[in-house]
Amino acid sequence: QQQVKQSPQSLIVQKGGISIINCAYENTAFDYFPWYQQFPGKGPALLIAIRPDVSEKKEGRFTISFNKSAKQFSLHIMDSQPGDSATYFCAASLIWGGSRLTFGEGTQLTVNP
Amino acid sequence: DADVTQTPRNRITKTGKRIMLECSQTKGHDRMYWYRQDPGLGLRLIYYSFDVKDINKGEISDGYSVSRQAQAKFSLSLESAIPNQTALYFCATSDRLDGVNTGELFFGEGSRLTVL
């Protein structure tokens, strides 16, 4: 049973476009929602994170939008670049900053030049 | 050198064989984890350890065992490997959760296991 559902499974975007990846969760007790980025042949690495009392968090070209009532959150990558091509995982934890994460299924993003 | 090192990076084995995946870290973190990655299923937690004397099952521990030999070393064993254990395995570490540190996970580069 997947407690965090992620879509789409794969995404192709042109350079300069906006990439949007969506996640939905079931457990309203989740208190921490990070996104991890994984390049081919590497392990995932923390990209950005948000807590449920904030509706949006922005770091450079990466923005998390959070909708607590809908139990959904999304990652937006503005001005997408070929170097952003990677697999992205959303995740959730019961504790703010907690390390016991439930991950989504992953989205493979390809940004064409 | 990588902060979280996994060995072997690739392994092909046969059904019924015992296999051990090893992880060592130089980050000085107390907490260590083993995850499994399968296409379309994301990352799933197998076991985790918050210190040397603490071992906990994750979501999918059946068929696996672990050993925390030291703060820096955490190994994953498959006592009798089966084909559906073919996957990419990741070790990760994190610091203690306190007012300064979050539980950010630091992953190794993965061990690809194929069970024939």
Which of A99, A102, A103 to substitute to test the interface with B, most B CBs within 10 Å? A99
Average confidence score pLDDT of chain B: 93
B110/A contact by beta carbon, under 8 A: yes
pLDDT bucket at A51, cuts 50 / 70 / 90: confident
pLDDT bucket at B64, cuts 50 / 70 / 90: very high
What b/e string do you get for A75-103 counting C-beta neighbours within 10 Å, with b at 16 or more? bbbeebeeebbbbbbbbbbeebbbbbbbb
Considering only residues A32 and A96, tell me which one the structure prediction assigns the higher pLDDT: A32
pLDDT greater than 80 at residue A14: yes
The predicted model gives A31-45 an average pLDDT of 95
Q: How far is B116 from chain A (nearest CA, A)?
A: 22
CB < 8 Å to B45, chain A: 100-101
pLDDT greater than 70 at residue B99: no
Q: What percent of chain A has pLDDT over 70?
A: 97
Q: What is the pLDDT of residue B109?
A: 96
Q: How far is B3 from chain A (nearest CA, A)?
A: 12
pLDDT bucket at A2, cuts 50 / 70 / 90: low
Q: What is the pLDDT of residue B56?
A: 93
Q: What is the pLDDT of residue A100?
A: 83
CB atoms within 10 A of CB A48: 17
Q: What is the pLDDT of residue A1?
A: 54
Strands A102-103 and B4-7: unpaired
Amino acid (1-letter code) at residue B61:
S
Average confidence score pLDDT of chain A: 93
Put simply, the answer to whether B97 touches A99 (Cβ < 8 Å) is yes
The predicted model gives B66-90 an average pLDDT of 96
The predicted model gives A33-39 an average pLDDT of 96
**What residues 51-70 of chain B have any CB closer than 8 A to a CB of chain A?**
none
The predicted model gives B8-33 an average pLDDT of 96
pLDDT greater than 80 at residue A39: yes
pLDDT greater than 70 at residue B1: no
Q: What percent of chain B has pLDDT over 70?
A: 94
What b/e string do you get for B24-63 counting C-beta neighbours within 10 Å, with b at 16 or more? bbeeebebbbbbbbeeeebbbbbbbbbeeeebeebeebee
Q: How far is A69 from chain B (nearest CA, A)?
A: 25
Query: Which one, of B73, B91, B79, lies nearest residue B16 by Cα?
Result: B79
Closest partner CB to B31 (pick from A36, A49, A99): A99
CA angle B37, B42, B46 (to 5 degrees): 55
The predicted model gives A75-90 an average pLDDT of 98
Specify the DSSP class assigned to residue A101.
P
